[in-house]
Structure 1
Amino acid sequence: MSLHLATTDDGNALLERDPLALLLGMLLDQQIPMEKAFTSPSVLASRLGVERLDAGTIAALPPEELLELFRTPPALHRFPGSMAERTRQLCQALVDDWGGDAAAVWRDAESGAELVRRVGTLPGFGAQKAKIFVALLAKQFGVRPAGWQEATGDYGQDGFRSIADVVDDASKAKVREFKKEMKARAKAGA
């Protein structure tokens, strides 16, 4: 597999081998370009001096230290303060509820609906983000519990609707165009 979600090969390689990095990339994918969101976990790993991210380590960092890691130029997110706190909350939830193992969230889910529910309970993941992340797991990582397509709605279908459908530069451009069209429709209807 070769992901095309981050802007760097190292960033994509980390997403492929580190479930927490993938989950954090999805968490950060709001109000910034998707490539920036999915590259930031590798920048965070570099700043921490680690090969893989660890939920327990991140959750245990003093808030001001995590904030500094997010704020240091180039900042990991447009809103480093709130996203550092969401990252800490997500990592703490993984420690508390999943033994610190991000992949445990999806490893033994018996149905797509259960998986969407599990992801949707994580801090920073609402209903739509949970569906997109489950579609990403299914389409690019082979995590396909029974009923995953129904549980993810339109995101589980073929097309170019979300990060789940980005496999190269051409598909990335199509996803961007779809998002732009959806924003224009929403604005026109508002």
Structure 2
Amino acid sequence: MTRELHLTGEEAADRLLSEDPVALLVGMLLDQQIPMEVAFIGPRKIADRMDGFDVRKIAEADIEEFVQLCVTPPAIHRYGGSMARRVYGLCQHIVENYDGDATAIWTSGRPKPDGPEVLKRLKALPGYGEQKAKIFLALLGKQYGVHPKGWREAAGAYGDRGSRRSIADVVSPKTLQEVRAFKKATKAAAKAQ
């Protein structure tokens, strides 16, 4: 993955997300109940504490030591312990099922996986449900040029051109604010019902 992402407003964190697909998957995993950009800084915090970000190193770490590393202030998430265990499980899954190569989730197989298959593989990741998988698929398509057949349909509304629904649409501080406004309006509409 070589496209330059601008998800966090922090150069080192964005560079890691741009260069390491596992870090990007971890950022997406952490993206719940905290601001989006804070979630996506989590992988950089892990990298700083582990002398680099390495899926195998995480997967082979002692779980309790890894949790301690993740909860040390500033923690990777407001629920640092439970999220550290999810990150650990995600990394183990990627090592066990994709030999540590996260790009295989959207590239491996003959024929190449289509959008629905990539979505299915993403939903099988620990900590990923339907919505998180659709958002990540949209992120791949919109910002990485990963376009398996039917990806937009599989991503649902998150794949819509010009939308401002999720982290998949954040390419600048302005679009971050537009996504925040969309989420706020959606929550307000849900409360009004």
Same fold flag (TM > 0.5):
yes
Aligned equivalents of 1:187 and 1:90: distance in 2? 33
Q: Residue 174 of structure 1 corresponds to which residue in structure 2? A: 178
Query: Match for 1:124 among 109, 123, 127?
Result: 127
Moved over 3 A (4+): none
Deviates more, 1:100-109 or 1:76-85: 100-109
Between the aligned residues of both structures, percent identity stands at 52
Displacement of 1:41: 0.4
Deviates more, 1:82-91 or 1:96-105: 96-105
Contact 2:70 2:80 in 1 (8 A): yes
Aligned equivalents of 2:13 and 2:177: distance in 1? 19
Q: Give a deviation string over 1:32-59, Cα, whole Å, max 9, x none.
A: 1100111110111011011xx2222111
Q: Residue 24 of structure 1 corresponds to which residue in structure 2? A: 26
Aligned equivalents of 1:135 and 1:180: distance in 2? 20
Aligned equivalents of 1:16 and 1:176: distance in 2? 22
Aligned equivalents of 1:114 and 1:169: distance in 2? 32
Contact 1:7 1:36 in 2 (8 A): no
Deviates more, 1:140-149 or 1:60-69: 60-69
Aligned equivalents of 1:107 and 1:88: distance in 2? 23
Displacement of 1:178: 0.5
Query: Match for 1:153 among 129, 153, 156?
Result: 156
Aligned equivalents of 1:146 and 1:106: distance in 2? 11
Aligned equivalents of 1:40 and 1:107: distance in 2? 26
TM-score between both structures, scaled by the size of structure 1: 0.95
Displacement of 1:165: 0.3
Q: Residue 11 of structure 1 corresponds to which residue in structure 2? A: 13
Contact 1:7 1:39 in 2 (8 A): no
Q: Residue 163 of structure 1 corresponds to which residue in structure 2? A: 167
Aligned equivalents of 1:5 and 1:47: distance in 2? 21
Residues 1:141 and 2:138 are matched in the alignment: no
Q: Residue 56 of structure 1 corresponds to which residue in structure 2? A: 56
Displacement of 1:79: 0.1
Aligned equivalents of 2:113 and 2:167: distance in 1? 24
Q: RMSD of the alignment, in Å?
A: 1.1
Displacement of 1:110: 2.3
Gaps of 5+ in 2: none
Equivalent pairs counted in the alignment come to 187
Q: Residue 70 of structure 1 corresponds to which residue in structure 2? A: 70
Displacement of 1:2: 3.0
Q: Residue 80 of structure 1 corresponds to which residue in structure 2? A: 80
The one-letter code sitting in structure 1 at the alignment partner of 2:16 is L
Gaps of 5+ in 1: none
Residues 1:104 and 2:101 are matched in the alignment: no
